[in-house]
Structure formats: structure tokens, C-alpha cells
Structure 1
Amino acid sequence: MATGRPVVITRPLKQGVLFQQRLSQAGLSGVLFPLLDIAELPDTTALRASPACLDDYAMVAFVSPNAIDHYFEHLQSWPQQVDIAVMGAGGVAALQAYADKLRGVRIISPTNPLKTDSETLLEELDLRRLAGKRVLIVRGQSGREFLADALRSHGVQVDQLPAYLRSEPAFDAQRQQQLHELIRQQAIWVITSSEALRTLDRWIRQSGEDIIVANMQGQHLLVPHRRIAETAQQLGFHSITLTGSGDEQLLVALQSQI
């Protein structure tokens, strides 16, 4: 990179490595610094049993690529009459890995690349058709309740299925050293999760040094969603670029920054 500034990838490790490969293909280099860990559930009984019951649903909504990957590990084929809904370009891209199981299946996602979340997905759904029917939401062990609550308010029967665990990585001495070095280098940070951003904020405040907090808050953040941008502003970050949703939009923004 011309400026020598590292691009920090804060996604969970598996997704981070994939994005690092995309950066490399575009002639850029990225540093892996996961701010979220993804793990299997201690008990996957319900998750493994769910694919056999897909015919009970009019639609299945996946909240993230991780939800897709953990669910499809247990899937042989997808019934064509059951629609799939995803939150944005990341979900659409994750489904491409399972295209052989999804022939003829309708996939619904927000059409505005600059605004992809539960609220904009809801605008794409035929709520009158779904009224009185069952919908399954596949997600982490916890998460936002907006989509489930909104669907129920329109008469939809909603089931929610945890597919994975989300947790904060250990902030050990090695990570502390890496964080301080990245701050010193004035890195460009790709932040794709408000939860990850809050983890980063906790880590810098653990140092107890105002100068480290101030220096981190001055780092440049690239975020693909307005909610993450709002979280960043609330936490005191002041150099924020809001990109469109999906890796392509992030890459375009990065190439204009470095």
C-alpha cells in the first residue's frame, strides 16, 4: 500500500481470512485482529433436527453468514417452496457456497446496498402473504428482537433457532501489544459489527491511559451500516466512512482511501 497503513480486519477469524484473501486479490494487504469469536453450540440437537422440519415454514431468515454456515452444515436439500431471507450482501454471498442445494429457491434481501438490516429487510417482505404462517429466524444465541417482534405484530408465527455462540476474544498480552502497534501505525479499521466495536472500545479503555483512548478514537473506521456508524460516534470515534453493504463496497472504499 502506498501509505503503508495497515487495513485491520476485525471480523471473526473464518470470515476475516476470506476478506483478507479478497484484499490480496485487489492488491491490498490486511491484518487479522478478530473482535468476535464464533463457536459451535454446546448442544446442537435442535440445530441438527431443524432441516427435517423446513416444510413447516413459509420462510427462513438468516441474520448473518455465520448463521447460514452453521445451519447448512446439517442440510441435505432445501424445499423450493420455502423462501430464504437474508440481511444483506454478506448473506447473499454466503448462500452462493450452497447454490447446489438452493436451485429454484427464492432469496429475499434488501435492495438498497447502503441500508441493509432487519428494518429494510422487513420492507421487502410480503407481510400479508406471511400472516398466519410460520417463519424461522436462524441467529446466534442472542441478538436483536426487531425482526421477530415486527413479524409477530403482523400475525406471523415466529420461531427462533440459535445456530452458534458469539463471544469476546481474550484480550491477552499479545493482543494488547498488537493493538498498540496498530494504533501507532494509524491503521484503517474495517468494522462490520457494533458488538465488535464495543469490544474494541472496552479494550482501549482497559489501558487506563487517556492518550491511547484518544489515539484509537482518531483512527479511520470503515463501516458498512449506519447503526455501526452511529455506535462509533457515540463511543467518541470521529473519523468514520460509511460504505455500502457487502465486501465489494468495502473494497471500493478502501481503494479510495489508500
Structure 2
Amino acid sequence: MTGWRLLLTRPADESAALAGVLAEAGVFSSSLPLLDIEPIPASAKMREVIQNLNHYCAVIVVSKPAARIAVDLLNRHGLQPPVVKWFSVGAATAQILEDNGLDVSFPVDGDDSEALLELPQLREAIVRPDARVLIMRGEGGRELLAERLCELGASVEYLELYRRGLPQYPPATLPDRIEAERLNGLVVSSGQGFEHLRQLAGDTWPALARLPLFVPSPRVAEMARAAGAQTVVDCRGASAAALLTALREHPEPVL
């Protein structure tokens, strides 16, 4: 896979970890973080929800930042993890929760909302009258998950723990980086990451849209195609393993 030269757009710490895995596989990458994670200050309502997690039949944590902030809230307020069924969208998010003593179920064959919705443990957890599910997330995103859970008879509430901002870069930073480092593929890890990519690209988006774009889910793939991206590769997950599998399956660019 040494022909690939990828632009990574995750937050800086996650991009650094992903770059290390890619380097071991012979893939060059360059990091330009397009998401800044800003924790939302803890409110009385947020603390009340955290203190009453046992009122829910399932708690779903959709991202690593959400997991870190949730654990921090539990620890900061001296709360013992409640006896509740915990779920995560992917293995990396689950690991953060498990490292803090929580028993977490997650899909092993994909790290997206679709795979989680097929998880037998989740289906079992919500087969009860007046099932309540709490989704811990950032502001906005993953509406599909709530919609499908409601269709299955559960009521869904959100606990939004952080905001995602676009870091400030000088004009032309994105196209200049791609040209200077001869990058031939783009990687985004979320719908908002893709929106920030388009925003930063500005008038150069039509040219950048010709590059292969690796995305984590069918939802983001649909967004990208609707915006004019010409070659969209759905990795069916945001993990390094999912990206590497997609890279192996997609034809290498010719240098």
C-alpha cells in the first residue's frame, strides 16, 4: 500500500495514533485536524442525568470524546458506575469505558450505527415496556441511531457532552498541503469532519472532490456523493483496521 499518501483530518491526538498504524503498513500520511473538541461545561441537568443513569435500560456512547468526558463526570462527582447496560459504536470507545470498570457491548463486525443496531445485546436490552435509552454524544449527529431505536419501541434521550469546532487555518492551507505533499487520498471520520473539509476547501472543492475520499459509514458516504465527491470509499467504520482494509480493497493510485 505504499502508493497511498493520505490526508488525515481527525483531532490531533487521534490523527497521530492513526498515522503510526498507517506508517507500520507502509502508508504515508499527513495530519490536518479539522475537528476541535470542546467539552460542554457541566450543568445541573447534565449532573442529574449522570446521577440517574440507572433509569435507562441502555446507555450508548458514540465516540471516544464522549466516553472520556462521561468517565470524567462520573469520577469528578464521586459516582459509582451504575448497574446499567453500556454500549459503544466501536471498540476504541469501548476500551475507554472498560478501562474505567464498565462492562460494554459493541459490534465486532463494524463500528457504525448500523452495526450497533444489529447487536443482539442491544435488541435484548430494549425489549421491555417503556424502554428508555440514553445516547451520549457531541452536539448533533447520529440521528439514524435514535430514529431506529424509536422504531423498535424505545424512547431516546441525548446527553450532549462536547462541541466540534473547525480549527483556524490560513487561506489555502488545505490545497497547499495536498499539493506540497502530493497527497492522493482524503480521510474523514464523521459527517461533521466532512463538512469542515468542504468548508476549508472553499472554491478548491471541485478539484479536491476528484481525490478518493475514505469515510466511516454509509451516511457520510451519501453526504459526500451528494456534495460532488467522485470516488467515495465506505470503510464501514472509523477504526485504523477498517481504513487499512478499505485501502487494501481499493486500487492503489499510480504515482
- Relative to structure 1, the CA distance from residue 58 to residue 170 in structure 2 (aligned partners, 3 Å threshold; closer, same or farther) is same
Q: Secondary structure at the match of 2:149?
A: helix
Specify the alignment match of 1:84 in structure 2: 86
- Relative to structure 1, the CA distance from residue 17 to residue 183 in structure 2 (aligned partners, 3 Å threshold; closer, same or farther) is same
Q: Is 1:230 aligned to residue 209 of structure 2?
A: no
Matches within 5 A, 1:40-79: 40-48=39-47, 50-76=49-75, 77-79=80-82
In the alignment, is the contact (CA less than 8 A) between 2:185 and 2:211 conserved in 1? yes
Q: CA deviation at 1:165?
A: 0.8
Specify the alignment match of 2:190 in structure 1: 193
Q: Is 1:121 aligned to residue 116 of structure 2?
A: yes
- Relative to structure 1, the CA distance from residue 152 to residue 240 in structure 2 (aligned partners, 3 Å threshold; closer, same or farther) is closer
- Relative to structure 1, the CA distance from residue 136 to residue 198 in structure 2 (aligned partners, 3 Å threshold; closer, same or farther) is same
Percent identical: 26
- Relative to structure 1, the CA distance from residue 239 to residue 142 in structure 2 (aligned partners, 3 Å threshold; closer, same or farther) is closer
Q: What one-letter code is carried by the residue in structure 2 that aligns with 1:70?
A: I
Matches within 5 A, 1:93-172: 93-102=92-101, 105-109=103-107, 112-113=109-110, 116-117=112-113, 119-124=114-119, 125-126=123-124, 129-172=127-170
Specify the alignment match of 1:239 in structure 2: 231
Q: Secondary structure at the match of 2:127?
A: helix
- Separation in 2, partners of 1:160, 1:11: 23
- Separation in 1, partners of 2:128, 2:179: 48
- Relative to structure 1, the CA distance from residue 201 to residue 156 in structure 2 (aligned partners, 3 Å threshold; closer, same or farther) is same
In the alignment, is the contact (CA less than 8 A) between 1:222 and 1:241 conserved in 2? yes
Unpaired segments ≥5 residues, structure 1? none
Q: What one-letter code is carried by the residue in structure 2 that aligns with 1:75?
A: L
Q: CA deviation at 1:26?
A: 3.0
Q: Is 1:204 aligned to residue 207 of structure 2?
A: no
In the alignment, is the contact (CA less than 8 A) between 2:2 and 2:28 conserved in 1? no
Q: CA deviation at 1:155?
A: 4.2
Q: CA deviation at 1:163?
A: 0.8
Matches within 5 A, 1:3-22: 3=3, 6-22=5-21
- Separation in 1, partners of 2:218, 2:152: 26
- Separation in 2, partners of 1:236, 1:73: 40
- Separation in 2, partners of 1:171, 1:153: 42
Q: Deviations over 1:116-153 (max 9, x none)?
A: 32x44333323652431332111112234333344345
Specify the alignment match of 1:181 in structure 2: 177
In the alignment, is the contact (CA less than 8 A) between 1:6 and 1:182 conserved in 2? no
Q: Secondary structure at the match of 1:151?
A: helix
Q: What one-letter code is carried by the residue in structure 2 that aligns with 1:78?
A: P
Unpaired segments ≥5 residues, structure 2? none
Q: CA deviation at 1:44?
A: 4.8
Q: What one-letter code is carried by the residue in structure 1 that aligns with 2:177?
A: E
Q: What one-letter code is carried by the residue in structure 2 that aligns with 1:132?
A: D
TM-score by length of 2: 0.80
Q: CA deviation at 1:16?
A: 1.7
Q: CA deviation at 1:9?
A: 0.7
Equivalent pairs counted in the alignment come to: 242
Specify the alignment match of 1:250 in structure 2: 243
Q: Is 1:38 aligned to residue 37 of structure 2?
A: yes
- Separation in 1, partners of 2:235, 2:98: 27
Q: What one-letter code is carried by the residue in structure 1 that aligns with 2:173?
A: Q
